[in-house]
Amino acid sequence: MTVTTQALQDSRIAILGYGSQGRAHALNLRDSGLDVVVGLRAGGPTAAKAAADGFAVATPAEAVKGADLVAVLTPDMVQPKLYEEAIAPILRPGAALLFAHGFNVHFKAIAPRADIDVILVAPKGPGHLVRTEYEIGRGVPCLYAVYQDVSGHAKDKAMAYAAGLGGARALLIETDFKEETETDLFGEQAVLCGGASELVQKGFETLVEAGYRPEIAYYEVLHELKLIVDLLYQGGITKMLNFISETAQYGDYVSGPRIVDAATKERMKAVLKEIQDGTFARNWSEEYKAGLPNYRRMKQADLEHPIEKVGAQLRAKMVWLNEA
């Protein structure tokens, strides 16, 4: 089945937020022939950027007023207030409210009005990749979901929006708000961000504490990680194993399970449970409302880790990084 933008051809789409994803969505949708307005706080740096890109820029409330579909692409913690102030009182009945992450709807921080469609489209890639893949005629796979279907066409709208992003050129996968939210949070926390960064830091500390030079440790546990991740990204574990030495493979087999073992998996399950039962969402919401004291402290500790100091010095010598 060919998926097109037909279901949104006569619709006005309001993009709220113009960060990495917001800009990519707005540009791709416009280039797909759809009518796009960008809703942003007046006078902000992103408003100037959107205007420079040729968009009509309005305040969020003004953008919502004439919209048939509103895409909420601001940070998670900003969205509940934005919904209450600029969307809920204004969005017309039968219109669609779209999210790129189900966090606030799934965890009840936003209770959408009963007379609107509520849908999700989540490209599985950063905004710059969503844009560059579109520009060369390809696309990034997208997840899509329907939370509330009032019009009877919510799924069509979600798929048309994903097609407008270029996702239909690659792959569209249907999901639901629960699955998208919980798996996304788990991936970030246990593997992609939390897990990977902690593994790198602990590996660096182990080598340095054993007397090895920080520069050597940096290359072995952080710099070369990109080589492995690229292989995994391109062809999974199979390709990675095909491109590393037999010595590295044997070390993988005998030592990997000693580092990430059954106890690690049990802790992963505990992290997942806290995501599923809402503990993480409640803690994050309370942290945000308190002014982010723990968040700022933990972030600063990461920024001051010795691997960051030595890494900055070494990367300054890697001229190719500045050419990317």
The residues carrying an active-site annotation are 101
- Residue 127 marked ligand-binding: yes
Helix (H) or strand (E) holding 260: none
- Which pairs count as long-range contacts for 273-281, CB under 8 Å and 24+ apart, including other chains? 275/182, 275/185, 275/186, 275/189, 276/182, 278/107, 280/185, 280/189, 281/103, 281/107, 281/109
**Cβ-contact 69, 157 below 8 angstroms:** yes
Binding residue per annotation — 245? yes
Q: Judge whether 315 is annotated as a binding position.
A: no
Nearby residues of 189 by Cβ (< 8 Å), 6 or more positions away: 195, 271, 275, 280
Q: Considering just the CA atoms, what is the radius of gyration of the chain in Å?
A: 22
Cα dihedral 238, 144, 265, 305 in deg (nearest 10):
90
Residue 233, marked binder: no
Sheet holding 142-148, edge to edge: 56-58, 35-39, 12-16, 69-72, 96-99, 117-123, 142-148, 172-174
Say if residue 137 carries a ligand binding annotation.
no
Residue 243 burial by Cβ neighbours in a 10 Å radius (0-12, 13-18, 19+)? middle
Q: Known binder of ligand: residue 20?
A: yes
Alpha-carbon distance of 229 to 195, in angstroms, equals 14
> Does 41 carry a binding-site annotation?
yes
Give CA–CA dist 201/188, Å, rounded: 17
Whose CA is closest to 95, among 114, 110, 117? 117
Annotated ligand binding at 206? The verdict is no
Q: Is 176 annotated as a binding residue?
A: no
11 is known to lie in a ligand binding site: no
Residue list, annotated binding site: 18-21, 41, 46, 127, 184, 188, 220, 224, 245
Residue list, annotated binding site for substrate: 245
Residue list, annotated binding site for NADP(+): 18-21, 41, 46, 127
Residue list, annotated binding site for Mg(2+): 184, 188, 220, 224
